Structure 1
Amino acid sequence: MRGTKSKEKFSQELEMSRSNYSRIESGKSDPTIKTLEQIAKLTNSTLVVDLIPNEPTEPESEQVTLDLEMEEEKSNDFV
C-alpha cells in the first residue's frame, strides 16, 4: 500500500509514530476513518465504506415471501 516508501517515511506523512503505523499495517490495530482517509489521499486511492444491513430490507422480505410461495406452488403441481 505504501509503495516503495519506508514505514518510517509513510508514518511521518501520516503524522503518526512508526510503531502505530506498523500495528495498523500488521492488522494488530484498527485505523480510524480519519487515518484511512489520510492513507487513501497519500496513496492516490478512493476510500469506500459500505454499510450492509444484517437483516433484509422490506422489499427483500417481500421477495423472499414471493419466492417461497412460488416454491410451494411448484411442489403442489407435482402432487
Structure 2
Amino acid sequence: MSALDITREAVYAAIRDDLGCRTVDDLAERFHVLSGSATLRTVLDELKATGRIVEYKDGRLSGPGIFTQPALGEEPS
C-alpha cells in the first residue's frame, strides 16, 4: 500500500467517523466547497484554500480543521 493509499484510507475513516459522510461528494456537500463531481484531493485542496484545514499529510489534518469548524451556515457548537 502506498503512502497515498494510507492517507486516503485515513481521511475517509475520519470523514465517516467524525462527519458521517460516506463519500467525497457527501463531504463536498457538507462543506459547500464544490459542485458536481469531486475527488478527495480537490475537496481537500479547496478546504485548505479556504482555511478550513492547514495541512494534509500522511493521513493527518491539522490547523483549525474540518472537524472543529462548523460547515458554512452552521452555528458553532
User: TM-score scaled to structure 1, two decimals?
Assistant: 0.32
Larger Rg: 1
More strand by share: 2
More helix by share: 1
